[in-house]
A and B are shown apart, each in its own frame.
Chain A
Amino acid sequence: MMKRFLFFTIKILLLTFMVLVVLDIAYTQVYLQSSHRGKIDYVYNSKARHYDVVILGSSRANNHFVAPLFEEKGLKTFNYGMSGGHLFEASLLLKLMVERHYTIKNVILEADLNLANEKESESVASKFLPYIHRSKVIESHFAQQPHFWDNYYIPFYRYIVFDPQIGFREMYDAAREKPTKLLDHLGYYPLGKNPNANMKNDLTNLKPLHNEYYEEIKQICKANNINLIAVMTPMCSNVKGLDYFLKVNAIYPEIHNYENAIEGDQYFSSCGHMNDTGARKFTTVIINEFFNK
């Protein structure tokens, strides 16, 4: 009796394992065909591209650098800033571009509040995970992360844990090539005016780190003859602990401080994010500063 049950249980477990393997293969195949849902698959499933300017960073890059304004100046540009992303993901995205033989003249890196964090941003980093077995760059970038073993060796585990990012709904949308707005405006995402926005911020508890991934980005740029322009982008007027930006400069004097470049809350959608008008003013400042000389 028990022997039969043992065989029955083993069969169920094997069946479960097979289901996990089959689903893993199926989901991964879908993501390998998808190149227009977000910036990560857009890079992963691409071949060599040429850029004069690549923009990297978090939402403060995504919402602040108006890529079409660079294009108007004849600079081939794409804004790869990712909302919610940290430097962990910015570094990995740049590594992927290099792996795909992109030629890049300039990288504008938003390096300010994100310098205080060396952790991965799960919601963004998880979007690299479908490719973890296919790319040595991604594999080695995640190798030191806490759940690397589970994500790498347990089939389908990553799709279960990061269900909102790469689970069934996203896979289904990717399979039917449902468009998103993430790649519109050359990756720049304009924000509108938000009358209910919280126009306050407190940075007093934030401490910039000697950031591993910022260092990594510097090294990649140096090794590939890419001109790195690291910048701190504007904040609204009511911010406590503004000496954070001075602390950043104390560690990294090469990072250009544009915290005060745009003044007036009418240019902001929230305290850390400019609206489209503010972003256009700011981008003009950056273009004039670095590309009109």
Chain B
Amino acid sequence: MFFNSLSFALFLPIVFVLYWFVFNKTKSTQNALLIVASYYFYSCWDWRFLFLLVFSTFLDYYTGIRIEKAKTETARKFWFWLSISVNLGFLGIFKYYNFFAASFSELLNGFGLQTSPLLLNVVLPVGISFYTFHGLSYVIDIYLKRIKAEYNFVDYSLFVSYFPLLVAGPIERATHLLPQVKVKRTFDFEKAKEGVYQIIWGLFKKVVIADTCATYANAIFDHYQSMNSLSLILGAFYFAFQIYGDFSGYSDMALGMSKLFGLDLLRNFNYPYFSRDIAEFWRRWHISLSSWFRDYVYIPLGGSRGSKLKQVRNVFVIFLLSGFWHGANWTFIAWGFINALYFLPLLLRDTNRSNIETVALGWDFSSLKVFFSILSTFVLTCLAWVFFRAKSIGDAFDYISRIFTDQNFKIQYLENERYSYEILLLIFIFILVEWNARTKIEPISGSYSWLKVTLCIAAIVALGTYSDYKEFIYFQF
């Protein structure tokens, strides 16, 4: 059941009505309803993996209590490491086992030892990376005595399984979401209205921007060997907007529908393509994952303290882990590595926190400099996305080298019977809208909101891509 499906368009209003009109007496009834709805939502993907979700929830709930109640440090450590290893074990088996087995086999073959890897025929449970990270952050916070263990199983289950964030985040923190589910929610019209606007804007980003860009990006990436320089540049450009529209659109819808239930989720995107350097980009892109790695990996490793060498090591560790989190493929690791390389000059010059304030442009020389910073950051990001999108690292290098060697900038007619330049105007308008809204959560609220809603709805129905259905990219992670 996708957020942009007809079945979800029926599911959400039903849950909303039950939540506010039938199960609205206490926070327990509200939470119980959301749990049932979440488990139903998840079982629509594959009911068999519901057991995995429930087991993971119970494991972290139980070990969290045992860590808190442990009388000795050894017992604390035991329960902590039990939780960590089981969580990562599941993730490892379902997501990474085949990758490691195949890579190890290739390595042995490289040394002349002919082996065939023993691969598992398992499907990756949807959302496993997200709910595992929810659980991990909870257990680590208890272990580090940042929070108290949650004794109410229903409340804790809701924190892990809450359907808007269950399959593609944002990755929530117990410190942020648990306090909210522990009190009865009362309806707030302004918040709900904001939520509806955010859902509409998220849907626009998904079906109009992401899915349309996907049609063109796929046609270019899948036949990149017959594409000229211009098409290859456009392919990377389209994929940048595909992945942004897809993931930030999903996050917007998740945040928006949570507001309908009186809950606030962590913001996941903050107009990342207007970043002036890569450090700023990573403070604006998939914020909940970046901050997760910052708090649970980077800072424990020493963060920006210690020698430069140590700092460099820490940066590479989190970027490589971040890449690997996305999927068991060398392309994702290469993508993480490239981003670490981009980050390196900023770290060495201590300028990684120089662009904190909201970006502004005027008619002066400094604005020109800002504009080129944004442009160059975007170009670097697009080059890295080529690795993220390509089927192999070899393909990615080949793709990029063709951009520079082909030198042909004629407009091409693609396999999908469309010209490569066709959606540039749409993307340009989208960039302008986002630029004007960059200090807000979404661009619809404020003056002329009804006009903006009308335009959005018209664009969603008239310009959206529905026939060639595309899943949300981050569901595979």
Residues of A at the B interface (CB closer than 8 Å) are 1-2, 4-5, 8-9, 12, 15-16, 19-20, 23, 156, 159-164, 167-169
User: Are A164 and B467 touching (Cβ within 8 A)?
Assistant: yes
- A173 and B453 alpha carbons, distance in the complex (Å): 27
Q: Are B462 and A23 in contact (CB under 8 A)?
A: yes
**Interface pairs (12), CB distance under 8 Å:** A1-B187, A2-B20, A2-B189, A5-B192, A8-B189, A8-B193, A12-B196, A15-B450, A15-B453, A19-B457, A160-B464, A164-B468
Using Cβ atoms and an 8 Å threshold, which residues of chain A touch B406? none
Residues of A with C-beta under 8 A to B450: 15
A-facing residues in B177-199 (Cβ within 8 Å)? 187-189, 192-193, 196
Give the CA-CA distance A156 to B453 in the complex, in Å: 18
Q: Is B466 an interface residue (CB 8 A)?
A: yes
* A1, B458: Cα distance in complex, Å: 28
Also in contact, A163 and B458, with CB within 8 A (given A9-B196, A12-B453, A15-B453): no
User: Which residues of B sit under 8 angstroms from A20, Cβ to Cβ?
Assistant: 461
Interface string of B384-428 (1 = CB under 8 A from A): 000000000000000000000000000000000010000000000
Q: Is B457 in contact with A15, judged by CB distance below 8 angstroms?
A: yes
The answer, among A1, A8, A19, A160, for a CB contact under 8 Å with B466, is A160
CB distance from B155 to the nearest CB of A (A): 25
Whether the Cβ atoms of B466 and A161 lie closer than 8 Å is yes
A5 to B468, CA, bound (A): 34
Told that A8-B196, A9-B196, A19-B461 touch, could you supply 19 new A-B pairs with CB distance under 8 A? A1-B189, A2-B20, A2-B187, A2-B189, A5-B189, A5-B193, A8-B189, A12-B453, A15-B453, A16-B457, A20-B461, A23-B458, A23-B461, A160-B461, A163-B465, A164-B467, A167-B467, A168-B462, A169-B418
How would you classify the secondary structure of chain A's contact residues: helix, strand, loop or mixed? helix
Q: Is B461 touching A156 in the complex (CB atoms < 8 A)?
A: yes
User: In whole angstroms, what is the CA distance A9 to B12 when docked?
Assistant: 13
- Of all chain B residues, the one with the shortest Cβ separation from A26 is B462
- B463: interface (CB < 8 Å): yes
Interchain CB contact (< 8 A) of B467 among A1, A4, A9, A162: A162
A-B CB proximity, top 9 nearest: A1-B189, A163-B467, A4-B189, A19-B458, A19-B457, A1-B187, A5-B192, A5-B189, A16-B457
Within 8 A of A (CB), among B181-221: 187-189, 192-193, 196
Q: A residues within 8 A CB of B467?
A: 161-164, 167
Chain A nearest CB from B214 CB (Å) reads 14
